[in-house]
Amino acid sequence: MTTLQIILSENLLADAYDLNFLADWCKKSYPGLGICREFKKQLHHAIQHPGLVSPKTYEIWTSDEDYPTQELLQAHFKNIWNMCFPEEALE
């Protein structure tokens, strides 16, 4: 399992979705906590390389069916990034 998979699975499950909690954790944990640094690196990589995490893979990780296309998933990843790392917000 990747750090990205672990963090998303723990925080963004469809029936227990808590992006605000994840964002707060990132703001408190970055850059001091290694797992947060790795999450940031892997999330950035997923944003920069569409298809690295497919909608089906994301659904398997989170049971969330709200992102059926790569475009919707990429927008979701950017939203996660912008909430977790607002000082480095992406457009």
Cβ distance 46 to 54 under 8 Å?
no
Q: What are 16-53's pLDDT values in tens digits?
A: 999 999 999 999 999 999 999 999 999 999 999 999 99
Query: pLDDT tens, 44-91?
Result: 999 999 999 999 999 999 999 999 999 999 999 999 999 999 999 998
Taken as a whole, the chain contains a residue count of: 91
> What does the domain layout of the chain look like in residue ranges?
3-70+84-88
Burial class from Cβ neighbours inside 10 Å (0-12, 13-18, 19+) for residue 78 reads: middle
For the whole model, what pTM was predicted? 0.95
| 8 pLDDT more than 90 | yes
- Residue matched to tokens 């690196």: 41
The kind and range of the H/E element at 1 are none
**DSSP letter (8 states) at residue 32:** T
